[in-house]
Amino acid sequence: MITDPSELWTIQERGIPLYMNNTLTIRPERRDEFVAALRDVLPHARAEAGCSYLEVGELTRDPNVFILSEGWRDLVEYRDEILAKDYFQKYLKISEDAYAVPRVVELLRPVDVSS
């Protein structure tokens, strides 16, 4: 099980799912550009076979703070294949340039509530 976000870049084993929340604080003057980039990237990312879910929301108390909740079937596939795609690289360039502070990545562990 992955417990440290820095591990995301070193794991080579396939088949490990990835669930995470990313908190992005966007500079107010770049908000519109960032939202436009989200509108572009989300349909492409959600259409990927390996995407279990990808949702975004903004904090009610601060509309410049966005939380992306993501689930991917395979960490290595996400990291090495999906993030490398042109549409994702375009989004990353725009979003990373708009950060007011570094993003915060929280790894999640699924909870089985089926019983």
pLDDT at 4: 67
For the chain, the average pLDDT equals 92
Inform me whether the pLDDT recorded for 105 exceeds 60: yes
pTM: 0.88
Mean pLDDT of 83-90: 96
Edge-to-edge order in the sheet of strand 18-25: 51-58, 65-72, 18-25, 104-107
Distance between CA atoms of residues 88 and 14, nearest Å: 21
Among 23, 22, 10, 11, smallest CA distance to 71 is for 22
Which domains can be identified in the chain, with CATH numbers?
14-107 (3.30.70.100)
Read off the pLDDT of residues 37-82 as tens digits, 9 standing for 90 and up: 999 999 999 999 999 999 999 999 999 999 999 999 999 999 999 9
Distance between CA atoms of residues 58 and 82, nearest Å: 24
